[in-house]
Structure 1
Amino acid sequence: MFAIRLGDDAELRALEPWRAEEFLAHMDRGREYIGRFIALADVNTDLDSARAFLRVYADKAATDTGRIHGIWADGTLVGGVLFRTMDVHLGTAEAGCWLEPAAVGKGLVTRAARVIIDWAVEERGIHRVEWLVAAGNEASINVARRLGMAKDGVLRESYPYRGERHDMEVWSVLAPEWRAARKAD
């Protein structure tokens, strides 16, 4: 098993289809919290949908167009980070995250996102990593800030979710900015 230590008895691992039961149990624990801003909780409602969702990301990994990784704390899946999209030819990727309430406030998402962004920039040659976030999702906006991303703008009422249209903020970091910040650390 491949795992990257995140500290505090936490690690980052690939989230693969064979983990669908564990993923669904995690979704069930955090469904209300996770679903406040993203559709992940609405899409993964039973074992078949969870397995299908993870299979989509296994296919994306195989075609180098996306990735999904889980965050485990004390051996329990508590969240994750992903590249929802990744275009190596264009040098762009869209990163995202989610977390169940028990793991909030421990810096796990920020540390995990740093790992995948480092990989994307240094190993895959990604030039621009984007972070799209509902304007009301302060926790995710704070992660973008901690990652050193700049706010590019707001896509007004661009995200229809649960019967409402939400503004989406676009944050990004460019490879030279990322490298400079990592060197300064």
Structure 2
Amino acid sequence: MFYYQLDDRLTLRQLQMEDANALFMAVENSREQLWEWLPWIEATRSLSDCLAFIDLCLQGAKRRQSLNVGIFEERKLIGCINFNFIDWQNSSASIGYWLDPSYQKKGIMTSAVQVMIDYAFYTLRLNRVEIRASMHNKKSRAIPERLNFRHEGIIRQGEWLYDHYEDLAVYGLLAREWTHTHAF
């Protein structure tokens, strides 16, 4: 099971079934802000939705196709970061993330992304990590830019968001470009 102590109060840990209530509460507390950018918010309306999601996450992890990690402040779930899909044939993974707005602008997500990059390159031995974000989501785009990802292009109308398509900025980072000291 994935586990990493980020600092004295923050932990990254693979989501488990017993986290469903904490996940639901975190989504509820941030629903209005997350709704602007994340299409799955509408489908997350009950505890059973979170249980079903975590079950899918655990199945994906067991098959080594994905990894969904909670960001915890002590025992409180404050966000998630994940490898949406691990492409073993092409040795790459795509990272997605969200954080309770009251915890944003504190460097938490940047640190969490660094840990996931380390894990991708040093433990999983992948060659490429990708992050996609809406062209209009400046906060989400700031993270790969801060971590020296290369802006590789735009996927026009790449994501359906409730009632319209969003253009997605695509950022990529190769293992040989990553200079961070590894955590694993």
User: Could you tell me the percent identity over the aligned residues?
Assistant: 26
Return the alpha-carbon distance in structure 2 between the equivalents of residues 81 and 127 of structure 1: 19
Secondary structure at the counterpart of residue 6 of structure 2: strand
Report the equivalent of 2:131.
131
Q: CA deviation at 1:47?
A: 1.1
Return the alpha-carbon distance in structure 2 between the equivalents of residues 24 and 47 of structure 1: 6
Q: CA deviation at 1:147?
A: 2.0
Report the equivalent of 2:95.
95
Return the alpha-carbon distance in structure 1 between the equivalents of residues 2 and 133 of structure 2: 29
Return the alpha-carbon distance in structure 2 between the equivalents of residues 41 and 50 of structure 1: 11
Report the equivalent of 1:77.
77
Following superposition of structure 1 onto structure 2, how do residues 98-113 of structure 1 map, counting pairs within 5 Å? 98-113=98-113
Return the alpha-carbon distance in structure 2 between the equivalents of residues 156 and 2 of structure 1: 34
Return the alpha-carbon distance in structure 1 between the equivalents of residues 21 and 75 of structure 2: 15
Secondary structure at the counterpart of residue 158 of structure 1: strand
Report if aligned partners of 1:10, 1:71 keep a CA contact under 8 Å in 2. yes
Q: CA deviation at 1:131?
A: 0.2
Report the equivalent of 1:140.
140
Specify every segment of 5 or more residues in structure 1 that has no aligned partner in the other structure, as ranges: none
Secondary structure at the counterpart of residue 7 of structure 1: coil
Specify every segment of 5 or more residues in structure 2 that has no aligned partner in the other structure, as ranges: none
Report if aligned partners of 1:83, 1:95 keep a CA contact under 8 Å in 2. yes
Return the alpha-carbon distance in structure 2 between the equivalents of residues 33 and 114 of structure 1: 24
Report the equivalent of 1:29.
29
Report the equivalent of 2:57.
57
Between Structure 1 and Structure 2, how many residues are aligned? 182
Report the equivalent of 1:19.
19
Return the alpha-carbon distance in structure 2 between the equivalents of residues 75 and 45 of structure 1: 22
Report the equivalent of 1:173.
173
Cα RMSD of the aligned pairs, angstroms, is 1.7
Structure 1 counterpart of 2:46, which letter? D
Distance 1:15 1:143, change over 3 A: same
Report the equivalent of 1:9.
9
Return the alpha-carbon distance in structure 1 between the equivalents of residues 43 and 12 of structure 2: 23
Report if aligned partners of 2:2, 2:69 keep a CA contact under 8 Å in 1. no
Return the alpha-carbon distance in structure 2 between the equivalents of residues 35 and 74 of structure 1: 26
Following superposition of structure 1 onto structure 2, how do residues 142-157 of structure 1 map, counting pairs within 5 Å? 142-157=142-157
Q: CA deviation at 1:3?
A: 4.0
Moved over 6 A (4+): none
Return the alpha-carbon distance in structure 1 between the equivalents of residues 43 and 17 of structure 2: 15
TM-score by length of 1: 0.92
Structure 2 counterpart of 1:65, which letter? Q
Distance 1:83 1:154, change over 3 A: same
Report if aligned partners of 1:34, 1:40 keep a CA contact under 8 Å in 2. no
